[in-house]
Structure 1
Amino acid sequence: MNVPLMLVDLAGSVALLLWGVRMVQTGVQRAFGPRLRAVLASALRTRLSAFFAGLGVTAVLQSSTATGLMVTGLAAGGVVELVPALAVMLGANVGTTLIVQALSFDVSRVAPALVALGFLMFRRGDATRTRDLGRVVIGLGLMLMALHQLLEIITPYETAPALRSVLDAISAEPLVAIVLAAALTWATHSSVAVVLLVMSLAAKGIASPEAAFVLVLGANLGTAINPVLEGATGDDPATRRLPLGNLLNRVLGCAMALVIVPYLAPLVMAVEPHAARAVADFHTAFNLALAVLFFPVLHPYAALLRRLLPARLDQADPSRPMYLDKAAIETPVVAIGAAAREALRLADVLEAMLQGVQDAFEQGDRKRIAETRRLDDVLDRLNEAIKVYVASLEAEAMTDADRRRVDQVLAFAMNIEHAGDVVDKNLAALASKRLKRGLAFSREGQAELSAMMGRLTANLRTAASVFVTEDPRAARLLAAEKEAFRDLEAAATQAHVARLREGLPETAETSALHLDVVRDLKRVNAHLVEAAAYPILQAQGELLPTRLRTED
Structure 2
Amino acid sequence: MNETMRTVFGLLGGLAVFIYGMNMMSEGLQKVAGEKMKYVLGILTKNPIVGVLAGALTTAVLQSSSATTVMVIGFVSAGLMKLPQAISVILGANIGTTMTAQIIAFKITDYIWPIIFIGFVIFFFCKKEKAKNIGQTIFAFGILFLGITTMGDVMKPLAASPVFTDMIAKVSHIPVLGVLLGTVMTLVVQSSSATIAVLQNFASQAGPDGISSVIGLTGAIPILLGDNIGTTITALLASVGQSKNAKRTAVAHSVFNITGSFLFIWIIPWFAKFVEFISPKGNEIDVISRQIANAHTAFNVANTLLWIPFIWLMVKIVTKIVPGEDVVDTEGQPQFLDDKMAGQPVFALHLANEEIVRCAHMVQEMISEARKAMDQKTAAVWKNVCERRGVVEHLYGQIEKFISNLFASGTLTEVQSMRAASLMYIACDVDRISQRCQEVAKVRKERLEDNREGKEYAFSKEAEKEMESMLEKIEGMLLSAMDAVQNDNRAAAFKVIQQRDELQIQENKLRKNHVQRLKKGKCSPELTGAFTTILYSMERMGSLCVNIAEAYIGQPSLEGERQEQDAVGQ
Same fold (TM over 0.5): yes
Find the counterpart in structure 1 of residue 445 from structure 2: 432
In structure 2, runs of 5+ residues without a counterpart are 208-213, 557-570
1:457 to 470, 475, 494: 475
Mark the CA change 1:415 to 1:255 in structure 2 (over 3 Å): closer, same or farther.
Answer: same
Q: Tell me by how many angstroms 1:145 deviates.
A: 1.0
Find the counterpart in structure 1 of residue 16 from structure 2: 15
Deviations 1:494-542 (A, max 9, x none): 999x99xx9xxx9566555445544544555565566555897999xxx
Q: Tell me by how many angstroms 1:248 deviates.
A: 1.6
Mark the CA change 1:76 to 1:488 in structure 2 (over 3 Å): closer, same or farther.
Answer: same
Asked whether the equivalents of residues 118 and 137 of structure 1 are also in contact (C-alpha less than 8 Å), the reply is yes
In structure 1, runs of 5+ residues without a counterpart are 540-552
Determine helix, strand or coil for the equivalent of 2:135: helix
Mark the CA change 1:11 to 1:344 in structure 2 (over 3 Å): closer, same or farther.
Answer: same
CA distance in 1, matches of 2:272, 2:30: 37
Deviations 1:477-498 (A, max 9, x none): 64996899699789989999x9
- Equivalent positions of 1:399-438 (< 5 A) are 399-424=413-438, 426-438=439-451
Q: Tell me by how many angstroms 1:305 deviates.
A: 3.8
Q: Tell me by how many angstroms 1:168 deviates.
A: 9.6
Q: Tell me by how many angstroms 1:411 deviates.
A: 1.5
Greater Cα offset, 203-212 or 251-260 = 203-212
CA distance in 1, matches of 2:550, 2:41: 36
Asked whether the equivalents of residues 427 and 517 of structure 1 are also in contact (C-alpha less than 8 Å), the reply is yes
Asked whether the equivalents of residues 486 and 522 of structure 1 are also in contact (C-alpha less than 8 Å), the reply is no
Greater Cα offset, 42-51 or 86-95 = 42-51
1:114 to 2:115 alignment: yes
- Equivalent positions of 1:530-545 (< 5 A) are 533=550
1:446 to 461, 464, 469: 464
* Equivalent residue letter for 1:299: W
* Equivalent residue letter for 1:225: I
Asked whether the equivalents of residues 415 and 528 of structure 1 are also in contact (C-alpha less than 8 Å), the reply is yes
CA distance in 1, matches of 2:511, 2:15: 67
Find the counterpart in structure 2 of residue 184 from structure 1: 188
* Equivalent residue letter for 2:424: L
CA distance in 2, matches of 1:223, 1:182: 6
1:382 to 2:395 alignment: yes
- Equivalent positions of 1:183-332 (< 5 A) are 183-186=187-190, 190-204=191-205, 213-230=221-238, 235=243, 237-255=244-262, 273-274=284-285, 276=289, 279-306=292-319, 312=325, 318-319=331-332, 321=334, 330=343, 332=345
CA distance in 2, matches of 1:226, 1:489: 62
Find the counterpart in structure 2 of residue 545 from structure 1: none
* Equivalent residue letter for 2:464: Q
Q: Tell me by how many angstroms 1:88 deviates.
A: 3.8
Asked whether the equivalents of residues 68 and 93 of structure 2 are also in contact (C-alpha less than 8 Å), the reply is yes
Find the counterpart in structure 2 of residue 357 from structure 1: 370
Determine helix, strand or coil for the equivalent of 2:113: helix
* Equivalent residue letter for 1:382: L
Deviations 1:17-44 (A, max 9, x none): 1122123322322233554563675486
Asked whether the equivalents of residues 462 and 478 of structure 1 are also in contact (C-alpha less than 8 Å), the reply is no
Deviations 1:263-317 (A, max 9, x none): 9999999998436456445434543453354344333333444566578588785
Mark the CA change 1:154 to 1:472 in structure 2 (over 3 Å): closer, same or farther.
Answer: same
Asked whether the equivalents of residues 59 and 96 of structure 1 are also in contact (C-alpha less than 8 Å), the reply is yes
Q: Provide the aligned C-alpha RMSD in A.
A: 5.0
Determine helix, strand or coil for the equivalent of 2:428: helix
CA distance in 2, matches of 1:47, 1:453: 45
Determine helix, strand or coil for the equivalent of 2:311: helix
- Kindly tell me the number of residue pairs found equivalent between the two proteins: 528
* Equivalent residue letter for 1:435: L
Asked whether the equivalents of residues 48 and 88 of structure 2 are also in contact (C-alpha less than 8 Å), the reply is yes
Q: Tell me by how many angstroms 1:225 deviates.
A: 3.3
CA distance in 1, matches of 2:132, 2:390: 43
Mark the CA change 1:215 to 1:40 in structure 2 (over 3 Å): closer, same or farther.
Answer: farther
CA distance in 2, matches of 1:429, 1:168: 80
CA distance in 1, matches of 2:37, 2:420: 22
| TM-score, length basis structure 1 | 0.74
Q: Tell me by how many angstroms 1:414 deviates.
A: 1.6
CA distance in 1, matches of 2:390, 2:41: 35
* Equivalent residue letter for 1:251: I
Q: Tell me by how many angstroms 1:226 deviates.
A: 3.1
Find the counterpart in structure 2 of residue 95 from structure 1: 96
Asked whether the equivalents of residues 23 and 139 of structure 1 are also in contact (C-alpha less than 8 Å), the reply is yes
Asked whether the equivalents of residues 482 and 529 of structure 1 are also in contact (C-alpha less than 8 Å), the reply is no
1:370 to 383, 387, 403: 383
CA distance in 1, matches of 2:397, 2:168: 48
Q: Tell me by how many angstroms 1:149 deviates.
A: 1.1
CA distance in 2, matches of 1:6, 1:483: 80
Q: Tell me by how many angstroms 1:151 deviates.
A: 2.0
Q: Tell me by how many angstroms 1:64 deviates.
A: 2.0
CA distance in 2, matches of 1:158, 1:250: 30
CA distance in 2, matches of 1:400, 1:4: 44
Mark the CA change 1:142 to 1:508 in structure 2 (over 3 Å): closer, same or farther.
Answer: same
* Equivalent residue letter for 1:372: V
Task: Report percent identity of matched pairs.
Answer: 21
